[in-house]
Amino acid sequence: MKSTTPRSTTTRLSRTSWPPRTVIRRAGGMRTMESALLRSGLGPVAGVDEAGRGACAGPLVIAACILGDRARAALDLLDDSKKLSEKMRESLFPKVIRWATAYSIVTVPAAEIDRIGIHVANIEGMRRAVAGLSVDPGYVLTDGFRVPGLPAPSLPVIGGDATAACIAAASVLAKVHRDRIMRSLDRDIPGYDFSVHKGYNTTLHTDALARLGASREHRRSWSNVACLEDAGAAPTASPQERGRWEREGADAR
């Protein structure tokens, strides 16, 4: 007599049964992450990056940028701004502005950095930059670390300025804008060679600090600047005034 026990009706799952997922293609290059997000309906995608975080003088500059599809060919030379020459960054700057769907640049002065701390200044600056975009992003890619409080979902990308085109574009905007500020400061506060080292801790800058003391654009919360003031090595007069005093002293001798 045949068994009347019903056979199992369990259906074996195959790959075609799985929910669809976004495929990230290597051929996408620096647009890979943005393309994947856009195909998932999470666009437009904004990239955010900063310049001047490690400097002991000058402002912190943060930029946010959304790139449109037409920017792909025009900005094919985009890369991490630190890998590009100054001439190349300057040439890319107007192209990013022209081809960006939206962009925003925020400057945090040295005094504010001293007041709230560099990390808080960076987070707050990134929030301001995203809020300043004329187009609301559907997703935000940040370079390096998570930024809470953004108006859209976000993802920190390690080495993002060498991975995502929108972050690389923001990197160029922030770096070039800050370099221009530092060249202007070099004219306003001569003697420190800001146009050369851009406020970073090079030997040239350290020598100038030891000779002239801290200027109004130096971050006094930085240990190398604070130790000069603690030792009484930072005069309060401007470089112009100190130069006049030195000339008058020489004339008197």
Dump pLDDT digits (tens) for 231-253: 554 444 444 544 433 343 333 33
161/10: higher pLDDT: 161
pLDDT tens-digit map of 78-108 = 766 678 889 999 999 999 999 899 999 999 9
Percent of the chain scoring above 70 in pLDDT: 75
Per-residue pLDDT at 81:
66
pLDDT beyond 80 at 10: no
246 is in an annotated binding site: no
Query: How many Å apart are CA 253 and CA 242, to the nearest integer?
Result: 17
34 is in an annotated binding site: no
Mean per-residue pLDDT, 21-42 = 66
| pLDDT classification of 110: cutoffs 50, 70, 90 | very high
| pLDDT classification of 118: cutoffs 50, 70, 90 | very high
Instruction: Give ranges for CATH 3.30.420.10 in the chain.
Output: 27-185
pLDDT tens-digit map of 123-142 = 999 999 999 999 999 999 99
Per-residue pLDDT at 83:
80
Per-residue pLDDT at 237:
40
Mean per-residue pLDDT, 135-155 = 93
Per-residue pLDDT at 38:
84
pLDDT tens-digit map of 39-52 = 888 889 999 999 99
Q: Is 144 in contact with 158 (CB distance < 8 Å)?
A: yes
Q: Is 176 in contact with 165 (CB distance < 8 Å)?
A: no
pLDDT beyond 80 at 116: yes
Who contacts 230 (Cβ-Cβ below 8 Å, separation ≥6)? none
Per-residue pLDDT at 253:
30
- Quickly list DSSP for the chain: ----PPPP-PPPP-GGGSPP-PPPPGGGGGGHHHHHHHHTT--SEEEEEEE-TT-SBS-EEEEEEEE-TTHHHHTTT---GGGS-HHHHHHHHHHHHHHEEEEEEEEE-HHHHHHH-HHHHHHHHHHHHHHT-SS--SEEEEESS--TT-SS-EEEETTGGGT-HHHHHHHHHHHHHHHHHHHHHHHHSTTS-HHHHTTS--HHHHHHHHHH---TTB-TTSHHHHHHHHTT---SS-HHHHHHHHHHHHHH-
Per-residue pLDDT at 57:
97
SS3 category, 14? coil
Query: How many Å apart are CA 79 and CA 49, to the nearest integer?
Result: 13
SS3 category, 166? helix
- Quickly list DSSP for 88-149: HHHHHHHHHHHHEEEEEEEEE-HHHHHHH-HHHHHHHHHHHHHHT-SS--SEEEEESS--TT
226/24: higher pLDDT: 226
Give 27-185's CATH code, choosing from 3.30.420.10, 3.40.50.10240, 3.90.1150.10, 1.20.1740.10.
3.30.420.10
248 is in an annotated binding site: no
pLDDT beyond 70 at 122: yes
Please give the mean pLDDT across all residues of the chain: 81
- Report pTM: 0.79
